[in-house]
Structure 1
Amino acid sequence: MSASPRVATVITRLEGGAGVVVLRCAVALREDSCSVTLVTGAHGPLVRRAQRAGVEVVVEPALRKPITPWWDLLALFRLVVLFSRGGFDVVHTHTAKAGALGRMAARLSAVPRVVHTYHGFPFHRFQRWGKRRCYVAVERLLGRVTDNVLCVGDGVAGEAVRRRLASPNRIRAVGVPVPLDAPLADTGNRRRARRELGVDEDCLLVGAVGRLTYQKAPEDLVDALARLPRRDFRGVWIGTGEREREVERLARDRLGDRFVLAGQRSDVIELLPALDVFVLPSRYEGLPLAVIEAMLCGLPVVATAVNAVPDLVATGRTGVLVPPRRPDLLAEAVAALLDDPAKRTRMGRAGHRRVERDRFGIDAVLGELRSVYLGE
């Protein structure tokens, strides 16, 4: 394989934290003289950003999230054709559906190297037992045709080893790329971000970033905020998703005008300094990009103790961890931080230091990818 391999990066939808990570890596690889073709199932804002950055994008409409045998077979066939004609040295897949179809297509078309990244897992504790076992079995089979399994965070890597999703010597924990020059949550940046969000400067602001989906449990954040004894705060959620109307109704009923749905934004990291406390209420996760960026901005974090989140959030030092699906404990943790500005500042500074010295710069991630692609 050449020092600049030709790479096909496959993701079901270029959206959310995983989509941002894939986009940043694709742009960085291209700028590093590596040929990258990004394959995804639908158009969207991140696809347009990739195209503006000069990344070749192939939209394959048959690549869809739900399990649909006819569309899945068609997507598999079209991916085989694409990989066979493309002369790719590496196929690198992300997310469950693209990971399954992309890896099978890569082997059927004799691509020399197959890599898969787990940003999280398609199985989790809130699924029915039989469905979860089926997903684990499928991932184990796919692991046999995968040269390298990358896991975002040590917690995800440990779970992959425990579940025997691939041979341990083919599993590697990696970081995710974030801008290490993120704006700190100081007075000036806080004021600018709040103006952008349309939020008063004199209230306490508690917020989250992510898709409005079952995984992210936005209803638990609304429930937790509704339990707070104080009323001098507002809540904000940055992101969209299929649960938007449901969350909007719930927030209106429980919090009135004290909760803002800010929608999809491309300037998330510039908006984070507006917050006093960042919250991640997810049922399950990988290594959340939003938490890393919040910590880079110097925010204290209240998060559910799932998957690789404890890799980042050292409870009592950089934030507070709570069990998933416990909005009562989420509320207690948020209330304690809102009541103690000194603790918020101390935890925010500790979180900033923790992320700065870890493996989250684009150069570090790019080095990991090149090493894997070249079989080192």
Structure 2
Amino acid sequence: MSRVLLVGKGPPDRGGISAFMQTLLASELATEHQLSLLNLYRDEVLGGGRFTRANLSRTLADAARLWRAARQADIVHINTALVPLPTVLRAGFLALVARIAGARVIVHAHSGRIDLWLRTPLRRLLVRLALAPASRVLTVSETSRKFLARSLGSARVILVDNGVDPAAYTPVAAPGHELPTILFAGVLSPRKGLIDLIQASTELQRRGVAHQLVVAGGAPEEGPQAEAETREAASHGAPARFIGTQPHEEMARLYRGADVFCLPSWWEAMPLTVLEAMASGLPVVASTVGDIPRAVEEGVTGRLVAPQQPQALADALDPLLRDPQLRTSMGRAARERVERLF
């Protein structure tokens, strides 16, 4: 039985990395190996991915905690984003600390945009040096795997798809509300495409397509300023109901009460929210970024739209909001696809 230390932001954080680690801790893997969690969550938002004194202090403190914990582990599994540069260097430093402590190291890259960030030779060199202590690098998208393999070698980089337990999500034939509901779930940052969705919602209202928009999400790692800017931009469009970040159990209820799930992100890897919505029997309208097209089958389980195109987003949502039967058929196909592939 191996001693495996999971490292990353855990509860009360409600992001994808936290959900992934909680799934591992509750899985059958925990009966075969000794799993433990080093939770790097902090209450304060310091502006993630930036070179600041506060972030440097946090990294050094996290490294000290990791050193102590890694000395009692056989394998250290570091769950992290790999963009931008400060985040890469932080991940590499933590991997080096764990390796020196005597553990084998796995770095699990959960972020999108790796393919865009690694386009220059200098950046590929930095990633290769930063991740040298890792025996394996895992990705959640095929796009990321291909680009990392160019720097690290295909033998070290492995695709591990995100997945969901369909039993945790119960599709509802017809949600009990008068207006069709669009659900958005994600941090309140421009990169998640929320402003684009607000603009699309405004256009749909102009067309006379009645609906309501529910936004579940809170402050992004970029800090409260990014959230404030997003809320300010959203205030000039169609009304939306902002309900904050929700726990996993409440998200399952929100999926059941929605008619369409929409995530028009500017970049992603393989977002868990898309898979959760599909498992809940919802048609998904999302961007053609990362590995989302591997999950959402255009015209079958939902619609795919180029990012930062509010008009095209409105065109994709329009028929789904008008036609309950179309929503039902696409939602059923979405559930079946998740059960089969994820």
TM surpasses 0.5: yes
Partner secondary structure for residue 274 of structure 2: helix
Q: Percent identity?
A: 28
Map 1:119-130 onto structure 2 (within 5 A).
119-121=110-112, 123=114, 125=116
Shift of 1:40: 3.3
Residue of structure 2 in register with 1:48 after alignment:
none
Shift of 1:231: 4.4
Residue of structure 2 in register with 1:217 after alignment:
193
CA distance 1:140–1:121, shift in 2 (3 Å)? farther
Shift of 1:245: 3.6
Q: Deviations over 1:285-322 (max 9, x none)?
A: 11100000111111111111111111101112111111
CA contact (8 A) 1:155 1:310 kept: no
Residue of structure 2 in register with 1:118 after alignment:
109
CA distance 1:77–1:334, shift in 2 (3 Å)? closer
Is 2:285 the partner of 1:302?
yes
The 1-side partners of 2:282 and 2:171 are apart by 8
Which one of the candidate residues 175, 179, 195 is aligned to 1:203?
Answer: 179
CA distance 1:120–1:148, shift in 2 (3 Å)? same
Partner secondary structure for residue 342 of structure 1: helix
The 1-side partners of 2:112 and 2:141 are apart by 12
Partner secondary structure for residue 341 of structure 2: coil
Shift of 1:254: 1.4
The 2-side partners of 1:63 and 1:76 are apart by 16
CA contact (8 A) 1:185 1:272 kept: no
RMSD between superposed Cα atoms in Å: 2.8
CA contact (8 A) 1:95 1:119 kept: yes
Residue of structure 2 in register with 1:50 after alignment:
none
Q: Deviations over 1:320-368 (max 9, x none)?
A: 1111111121111111322333322221111111100123xxxxxxxxx
Partner secondary structure for residue 26 of structure 2: helix
Is 2:264 the partner of 1:264?
no
How many pairs does the alignment contain?
Answer: 320
Q: Deviations over 1:224-276 (max 9, x none)?
A: 11111124111111111134443333333311xx3111111112022102222
Q: Deviations over 1:14-43 (max 9, x none)?
A: 441222112221333674253233223334
CA distance 1:41–1:77, shift in 2 (3 Å)? closer
CA distance 1:324–1:287, shift in 2 (3 Å)? same
CA distance 1:173–1:77, shift in 2 (3 Å)? closer
The 2-side partners of 1:25 and 1:284 are apart by 25
Shift of 1:123: 4.5
Residue of structure 1 in register with 2:72 after alignment:
87
Relative to the length of structure 2, the TM-score reads 0.83
Shift of 1:151: 1.4
Q: Deviations over 1:118-159 (max 9, x none)?
A: 21246464x7x99x7655433222343221121113333234
Residue of structure 2 in register with 1:53 after alignment:
none
CA contact (8 A) 1:319 1:347 kept: yes
The 2-side partners of 1:21 and 1:107 are apart by 23
Q: Deviations over 1:82-130 (max 9, x none)?
A: 245x32101111113353232121222221x2111121246464x7x99
CA distance 1:277–1:323, shift in 2 (3 Å)? same
With 33-42 and 265-274 compared, the bigger mean Cα shift is at: 33-42
- Which ranges of structure 1 fall in alignment gaps of 5 or more residues? 45-60, 192-200, 360-376
CA contact (8 A) 1:186 1:273 kept: no
CA contact (8 A) 1:9 1:91 kept: yes
- Which ranges of structure 2 fall in alignment gaps of 5 or more residues? 82-86
Residue of structure 2 in register with 1:246 after alignment:
229
Partner amino acid, structure 2, of 1:148: R
The 2-side partners of 1:262 and 1:253 are apart by 18
Residue of structure 2 in register with 1:67 after alignment:
51
Map 1:294-333 onto structure 2 (within 5 A).
294-333=277-316
Is 2:92 the partner of 1:100?
yes
